C-alpha cells in the first residue's frame, strides 16, 4: 500500500516537474521565513521581505503562468512588487 | 468543452483574461496600501505592535500559507489536465484545490475563535484593527474563490458542459490572487513586528 502510494506520488511529481519544484521551493521559503523571524538579528526584517518577494514572484510567474504573458503584465507586476517593497522598507 | 488555444503572449490576453488581471492589480493595490498604512502605524506604536504580534500564533500563519500554496499547486495541475482533455482528473484536482481551501478556512476559524475567547476583537488596539480588517477581507476573497471553484466543478461535471477553458483559467487566476494577497499579509502581520 505504502509502496503504491509513494510510487504514484513520485510519478505525479515527475510529470509536474516544474510546478512541483516551485511548490517545494515555496514551502521551504515559507518555513525559512517563519524560523528566521524568531531571530533578533537586525537584518531579519529585510530577509523576511526578500523571502516574501521571492514567493510572490514564484506564484505569479510559475503558477499563474505570467512567465508566458506579454512583457507589459510581467513588468507591471514587478513594478508593483518593487514599489511595495521599497515603501515598506523605507518605513521600517 | 471548448479548448481553442489563445495567444497569451498578446497584451490583451494575459493568462486568466484581461478583466481578471485588472481586478488582481486593483486588489493588490488595495491590500498593498492598507499594509503600508499598517507598517506606518507600527512605526508610531512600535511596542504595541510588537506585543500584539507576539499574541499571534505564527505556526497557524505558516500552516495556512502552506495550505494555500498547496491548493494553488493543485489548481495549476487541474488546469493542465483540462488542457490535455483529462476532464475527470481535472475535476479530482479541483476537488483537492477546494479541500485545501476549506482547510485554510477551518484553521482561520480556530485562530479567530482563540482570539475572540480571550477578548481580542477588532477594537482591541491599532494592530488588531488592521489584523481583523485585512485577514477578514482576505477570508471573504477565499470564500468567494471557493464558490467560484465549486460552480466550475459542477459545470465540468455536466455531461454536455458549456464551461470553457477560459472560465477555468479565470477562476484559477482569482484563486491564485488569494495566494498572492496572503503572501503579502502573512510576513507583515505574523512575522515583521
Picking from B32, B183, B186 by the largest number of A CB atoms within 10 A of its own CB, the best residue to mutate is B183
What band does B17 get if pLDDT is binned at 50, 70 and 90? confident
Tell me if B95 is assigned to some domain: yes
Residue the block writes with cell 486593483: B26
pLDDT at B16: 82
Q: Is residue B178 scored above 80 in pLDDT?
A: yes
- Report the number of distinct structural domains present in chain A: 1
Q: Is residue B42 scored above 90 in pLDDT?
A: yes
Q: How far apart are CA B163 and CA B161, in angstroms?
A: 5
Domain assignment of residue A53, given as a range: 18-91
pLDDT tens digits along B46-78: 999 999 999 999 999 999 999 999 999 999 999
CB contact at 8 A, B161 and B8 = no
Contact state of B80 with A55 under an 8 Å Cβ cutoff? no
Chain B residue numbers with beta carbons less than 8 Å from the beta carbon of A19 are 73, 76-77, 80
Tell me if A12 is assigned to some domain: no
pLDDT tens digits along B109-148: 999 999 999 999 998 999 999 999 999 999 999 999 999 9
Q: Which has the closest alpha carbon to A23: A66, A62, A68?
A: A62
Tell me if A10 is assigned to some domain: no
Tell me if A2 is assigned to some domain: no
Percent pLDDT > 70 in chain B is 96
Q: How far apart are CA A24 and CA B70, in angstroms?
A: 9
Tell me if A13 is assigned to some domain: no
| Chain A nearest CA to B187, separation (Å) | 7
The sign of the dihedral angle between the CA atoms of B64, A21, B35, B19 is negative
Report chain B's mean pLDDT, rounded to a whole number. Answer: 91
Tell me if A3 is assigned to some domain: no
pLDDT at A17: 82
Complex ipTM tops 0.90:
no
Q: How many CB atoms lie within 10 A of CB B116?
A: 12
Chain B residue numbers with beta carbons less than 8 Å from the beta carbon of A85 are none
Domain assignment of residue B58, given as a range: 18-192
Tell me if A4 is assigned to some domain: no
Percent pLDDT > 70 in chain A is 84
- Report the number of distinct structural domains present in chain B: 1
Regions of chain A where pLDDT drops below 70: 1-15
pLDDT at B86: 87
Contact state of A65 with B179 under an 8 Å Cβ cutoff? no
The mean pLDDT value for B178-184 works out to 95
Contact state of B25 with A76 under an 8 Å Cβ cutoff? yes
Report the CATH number that the domain containing residue B24 is assigned in CATH. 1.20.120.80
| Chain A nearest CA to B6, separation (Å) | 11
pLDDT at B12: 80
Tell me if B3 is assigned to some domain: no
pLDDT at B142: 97
Interface check for A29 against chain B (CB to CB < 8 A): the answer is no
Amino acid at each position: 500500500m505504502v509502496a503504491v502510494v509513494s510510487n504514484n506520488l513520485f510519478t505525479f511529481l515527475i510529470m509536474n516537474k516544474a510546478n512541483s519544484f516551485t511548490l517545494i521551493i515555496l514551502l521551504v521559503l515559507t518555513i525559512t521565513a517563519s524560523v528566521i523571524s524568531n531571530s533578533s538579528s537586525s537584518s531579519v526584517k529585510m530577509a523576511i521581505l526578500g523571502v516574501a518577494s521571492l514567493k510572490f514572484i514564484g506564484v505569479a510567474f510559475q503558477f499563474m503562468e505570467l512567465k508566458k504573458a506579454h512583457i507589459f503584465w510581467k513588468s507591471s507586476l514587478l513594478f508593483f512588487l518593487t514599489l511595495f517593497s521599497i515603501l515598506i522598507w523605507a518605513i521600517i | 468543452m471548448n479548448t481553442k488555444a489563445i495567444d497569451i503572449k498578446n497584451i490583451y490576453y494575459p493568462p486568466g483574461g484581461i478583466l481578471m488581471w485588472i481586478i488582481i492589480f486593483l486588489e493588490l493595490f488595495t491590500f498593498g496600501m492598507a499594509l503600508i498604512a499598517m507598517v506606518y502605524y507600527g512605526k508610531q506604536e512600535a511596542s504595541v505592535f510588537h506585543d500584539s504580534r507576539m499574541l499571534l500564533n505564527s505556526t497557524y500563519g505558516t500552516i495556512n500559507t502552506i495550505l494555500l500554496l498547496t491548493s494553488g499547486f493543485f489548481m495549476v495541475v487541474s488546469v493542465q489536465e483540462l488542457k490535455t482533455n483529462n476532464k475527470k482528473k481535472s475535476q479530482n484536482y479541483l476537488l483537492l484545490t477546494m479541500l485545501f481551501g476549506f482547510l485554510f478556512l477551518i484553521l482561520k476559524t480556530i485562530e479567530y475563535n482563540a482570539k475572540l475567547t480571550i477578548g481580542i476583537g477588532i477594537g482591541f488596539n491599532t494592530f488588531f484593527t488592521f489584523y481583523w480588517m485585512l485577514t477578514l477581507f482576505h477570508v471573504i476573497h477565499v470564500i468567494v474563490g471557493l464558490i467560484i471553484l465549486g460552480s466550475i466543478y459542477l459545470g465540468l461535471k455536466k455531461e454536455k458542459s458549456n464551461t470553457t477553458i477560459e472560465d477555468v483559467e479565470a477562476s484559477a487566476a482569482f484563486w491564485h490572487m488569494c495566494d498572492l494577497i496572503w503572501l503579502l499579509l502573512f510576513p507583515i502581520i505574523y512575522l515583521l513586528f
